[in-house]
Chains A and B, each alone.
Chain A
Amino acid sequence: MTINFTVNGEDRSVDVDPDTPLLWVLRDELKMTGTKFGCGIAQCGACTVHLDGMPRRSCVTPISMVDGSDVTTIEGVSGPEAEAVQAAWTAIDVPQCGYCQSGQIMSATALLQMVTNPTDEDIDNAMAGNICRCATYVRIRQAIHDAAKTLEG
């Protein structure tokens, strides 16, 4: 089955089993490896992408659902929120192993796109779906607050 969609603004067309999760299409077919596999059952958030602007676990999103949609991945995420998040992450060296961080950044960017000045509770709610096995949570929280401050100007 042929599926047409965009990834980071570029037109893409793949001919795969329609049940194939978006995650494996991105990785195996498009060789875009920034989006990670952690659990395959929407438990960890390592595979988070934006689907039509909303954060989405690509490991449980069949490619058939993506037909006609716009996908944004860590490789292409942009705009003031994404830049603020990536800069804040870099400034305080959030990543340890780094494997969860694409997903963390996609979730954090989506949070800041929706909530300009998130409280700790907003952060808990938006980020609870993203496991970090290195437990960089202290810094993730701080970096989100820092990014929000930058965006306020």
Chain B
Amino acid sequence: MNIQTSRRGFLTGLIVAVALPRLARAEGRAGYFNELPAGDSEWAPNAFIRVAPDNTVTVLIKHIEFGQGPYTGLTTLVAEEMDADWGQMRAAAAPADAEKYANLAFGMQGTGGSTAMANSFMQMRKAGAAARAMLVAAAAQKFGVSPDQITIEKGVLRAGDQSASFGELAEAAASQTAPEDPPVKDPADFRLIGTDLPKVDTKAKTDGQAQFSLDVYRDGMLTAVVAHPPKFGATVAGFDDSAATQVAGVRKVVQIPQGVAVLADNTFAALKGRAALKVDWDDSAAETRSSEQMVQEWTAAAQATGNSTKDWEIEASGDVDQALADGDVLEATYVFPYLAHTPMEPLDGVLELREGEAEVWMGSQMQTGDAAAVSQVLGIDNVRLHTMLAGGSFGRRAQQDSHFAAELAAVAKANGPGAVKLMWTREDDIKGGYYRPLTVHNMKGAIGADGKLTAWDHGIASQPIFIGTPFEPMLQGGPDFSAFEGASELRYATPNHRLRWSQMDSPVSTLWWRSVGHSHTGFAVECFIDELLEKAGQDPIEGRLALLGDDHPREKAVLQRAAEMAQMSGDYGYGVAVVKSFDTYVAQIAEVEDRGGVPHVRRVWCAVDCGIAVNPNVIRAQMEGGIGYGLSAVLYSEITLEEGGLIRQANWDGYPIMRIPQMPAVEVAIIPSAEPPTGVGEPGTPPIGPAVANAWRRMTGTALRRLPIIPVPVA
């Protein structure tokens, strides 16, 4: 069965690449295509827009869609500037092409750091404005009027009693010159931006039509799973495939750099084959420390009494040691475990190898790097990468080393010509590394009875994320900011301040996990300031507002807004946190109940300032999801290395995820703003943990300084 690439052929196969529901047109609901329709008769005013004779406008989206809404958001920007009707809009994944479709924040194609909207905002509006100008010029000619007599509303150009649709004008517009720098709208004239436009991908995600990488089936395709080393840094010493090759349907068992691959006619046979495989591992370079031992070593380093690979002084002002000596010191150590992302869809992808060319379907978050990795492994320049919808990522698909693309290519190389699907199981995912780094914070602070901070001394120990990977050059020799972002540039005023980072090393691979450094710095900073304020007898909100001073109006505004919303009158604990991450400001207040000695979060009030709110409904959804994701982790999640280096957790039974009964009600307020839009995928996550921990401490007197709060009992 082949992927259909033609829009017109979208009902001809069982596997349909074009996910646009047929109803969309009739209902006037915007939609999306899994793959850009073959554009023979379409007008392409620029790299981002296609106008078809049937009056649909397709926007090529350079960012992967895995739930944060770029398909809808970027399509909105184009529709706004074109004055299109939302129902005629379609989104489609742009091809992998670093020149045309680079993330302007990265200089290559990729998604991350909550940058999709921020970097695209002007680019997509300009693209829409250019198309609009060409349509206007074409209409002016056709109607025999001057361009300034043309109006456009909901995709129809009018002058007097003459009118034409985009589709009708597309051919004539194609011969107009594209303006170099078309003017964009004054925000006061926005009609679509700022409204809750229905998402383009919702329909296909409610009827089973949405196509993910796992859903790609090619003629003659084999399915592969790989036996990976059970310890980080271990390698294959040898293997016995005699039982595995006896499994019906198993075609090949072959060693690749990443482990031993089992290729079979179908998924079940591949899994059965792998279960029957015996591999001897060489553990000589493997991590054998337990995570408990790491916690001890990391703690000593954070306290500046232990060893590290390198100690970095990140910030220093005043005389911290003297101020601590003079003050009434509070000291706290916070321990954050390794975390797996466990996106709903584990890593997977399909590669079809043909003479001198490779075609890849995967949920690629770093298209430029992933395509290069495939090219390098196969020794083929001609790599066509299709960016598929992905079942979540939370950072997991944004790999510095493109390890999944490289593994997929290695399997394909071992297989030879033809198509192969590589699938990681949930166990592969949970044991497979690329974790949020295990991190320890040691904090010492002093505060006066007047609520003024006199000293703040902050030590962090963790593995880097950039250093030691192909992304290291981005640091230009500096420290790995992913380890301490959010702890640096402390917003609470103090004359005596120090921030240190101890770089720790381990073969355990690390990666950015939704909100990256803020996933732990937000917790440490916001819990510690809350404890200090409590110690000084200060109100958590008023005390923060005072320390934020005049330099942080946006933090203060979200804090005040959350405080206004919150109904803190129940018989429960209430806690607050405010975190700026990725240039977005979020304050949350949590209402927490003591249920038999463990916290249950009932309600969360959340205020967010992300600049211009392009789609308020998507922003609210990202706050809800960010809160759920963050809460799940602080309550339940940890990856544990046992003595010897084996990973304790295997699947979601041992790595519990928050389920619907534990999800709090969430109320979101968006601060009106005329600032350029910033991201919302990550910033909802950091405040929830400290808000809950602060509520708990104020209610029970117990400070929660080691996560998760409710660890899985060891059997």
Binding site for B on A (CB under 8 A): 16-17, 19-21, 24, 27-29, 31-41, 43-44, 46, 73-75, 86, 89-90, 93-102, 105, 123-124, 127-141
**Are B628 and A137 neighbours in the complex by a CB distance under 8 Å?**
yes
**Are B661 and A97 neighbours in the complex by a CB distance under 8 Å?**
no
With an 8 A cutoff between CB atoms, is B343 at the interface?
Answer: yes
**Known: A33-B214, A73-B208, A86-B206. Contact between A40 and B201, CB under 8 A?**
no
**Known: A90-B203, A135-B629, A136-B621. Contact between A98 and B391, CB under 8 A?**
yes
**Known: A75-B207, A86-B206, A93-B202. Contact between A17 and B268, CB under 8 A?**
yes
**Are A28 and B268 neighbours in the complex by a CB distance under 8 Å?**
yes
Q: How far is the CA of A44 from the CA of B215 in the complex (A)?
A: 18
With an 8 A cutoff between CB atoms, is B209 at the interface?
Answer: yes
**Are B203 and A96 neighbours in the complex by a CB distance under 8 Å?**
no
- Chain B residues with Cβ under 8 A from A134's Cβ? 67, 344, 392, 625, 628-629
Residues 62-73 of chain B: 1 if any A CB is under 8 Å from the residue's CB, otherwise 0?
A: 000011110000
Q: How far is the CA of A68 from the CA of B624 in the complex (A)?
A: 43
With an 8 A cutoff between CB atoms, is B164 at the interface?
Answer: no
- Chain A residues with Cβ under 8 A from B67's Cβ? 95-98, 134
- Chain B residues with Cβ under 8 A from A73's Cβ? 208
**Known: A99-B344, A131-B659, A138-B663. Contact between A41 and B651, CB under 8 A?**
yes
Residue of A at shortest CB range from B666? A138
CB < 8 Å neighbour of B208 from A17, A35, A128: A35
Q: How far is the CA of A36 from the CA of B344 in the complex (A)?
A: 9
With an 8 A cutoff between CB atoms, is B652 at the interface?
Answer: yes
Residues 266-277 of chain B: 1 if any A CB is under 8 Å from the residue's CB, otherwise 0?
A: 111100100000
- Chain B residues with Cβ under 8 A from A132's Cβ? 344, 628, 660
16 examples of A-B residue contacts, CB within 8 angstroms: A33-B212, A38-B346, A38-B426, A43-B426, A43-B651, A44-B344, A90-B198, A93-B198, A95-B67, A97-B344, A97-B389, A99-B345, A133-B344, A133-B392, A133-B657, A135-B628
**Are A140 and B660 neighbours in the complex by a CB distance under 8 Å?**
yes
Residues 626-667 of chain B: 1 if any A CB is under 8 Å from the residue's CB, otherwise 0?
A: 111101100000000000000000011100011111010110
Q: A44-B652, A46-B344 are in contact. List 4 more A-B contacts (CB 8 A).
A: A21-B268, A24-B268, A33-B217, A136-B624
Would you give the shortest CB distance from B339 to chain A, in whole angstroms? 13
Would you give the shortest CB distance from B32 to chain A, in whole angstroms? 11
| From B66, B198, B210, B666, residue with most partner A Cβ within 10 Å | B210
Interface of A is mostly: loop
**Are B266 and A28 neighbours in the complex by a CB distance under 8 Å?**
yes
With an 8 A cutoff between CB atoms, is B185 at the interface?
Answer: no
**Are A97 and B652 neighbours in the complex by a CB distance under 8 Å?**
no
Q: How far is the CA of A136 from the CA of B657 in the complex (A)?
A: 13
- Chain B residues with Cβ under 8 A from A133's Cβ? 342-344, 391-392, 394, 629, 657
With an 8 A cutoff between CB atoms, is B26 at the interface?
Answer: no
Residue of B at shortest CB range from A96? B67
Would you give the shortest CB distance from B394 to chain A, in whole angstroms? 8
CB < 8 Å neighbour of A139 from B68, B248, B624: B624
Would you give the shortest CB distance from B223 to chain A, in whole angstroms? 7
- Chain A residues with Cβ under 8 A from B652's Cβ? 39, 41, 43-44, 131
- Chain B residues with Cβ under 8 A from A32's Cβ? 14, 208
Residue of A at shortest CB range from B209? A34
Would you give the shortest CB distance from A78 to chain B, in whole angstroms? 11
Q: How many residues of B contact A (CB 8 A)?
A: 68
- Chain B residues with Cβ under 8 A from A21's Cβ? 268
Would you give the shortest CB distance from B18 to chain A, in whole angstroms? 14
Binding site for A on B (CB under 8 A): 1, 14-15, 66-69, 198-199, 201-212, 214-215, 217, 223, 248-249, 266-269, 272, 342-346, 389-394, 423, 425-426, 617-618, 621, 624-629, 631-632, 651-653, 657-661, 663, 665-666
Would you give the shortest CB distance from B246 to chain A, in whole angstroms? 13
Would you give the shortest CB distance from B427 to chain A, in whole angstroms? 8
Residue of A at shortest CB range from B196? A93
Q: Which 8 A-B pairs have the closest CB atoms?
A: A135-B628, A34-B208, A99-B391, A98-B205, A96-B67, A74-B208, A97-B67, A137-B663
Residue of A at shortest CB range from B423? A37
Residue of A at shortest CB range from B205? A98
Would you give the shortest CB distance from A38 to chain B, in whole angstroms? 6
**Are B632 and A135 neighbours in the complex by a CB distance under 8 Å?**
yes
**Are A89 and B206 neighbours in the complex by a CB distance under 8 Å?**
yes
**Are A93 and B621 neighbours in the complex by a CB distance under 8 Å?**
yes
- Chain B residues with Cβ under 8 A from A90's Cβ? 198, 202-203, 206
**Are A29 and B266 neighbours in the complex by a CB distance under 8 Å?**
yes
CB < 8 Å neighbour of B344 from A86, A94, A123, A131: A131
Q: How far is the CA of A36 from the CA of B209 in the complex (A)?
A: 12
- Chain B residues with Cβ under 8 A from A44's Cβ? 344, 652, 657
CB < 8 Å neighbour of B625 from A37, A98, A102, A135: A135
Residue of A at shortest CB range from B266? A28
Q: How far is the CA of A102 from the CA of B389 in the complex (A)?
A: 15
Would you give the shortest CB distance from B375 to chain A, in whole angstroms? 28
- Chain A residues with Cβ under 8 A from B342's Cβ? 133
| From B198, B266, B389, residue with most partner A Cβ within 10 Å | B266
Q: How far is the CA of A16 from the CA of B272 in the complex (A)?
A: 14
Q: How far is the CA of A96 from the CA of B626 in the complex (A)?
A: 11
Q: How far is the CA of A84 from the CA of B618 in the complex (A)?
A: 22
CB < 8 Å neighbour of B202 from A41, A75, A95: A95
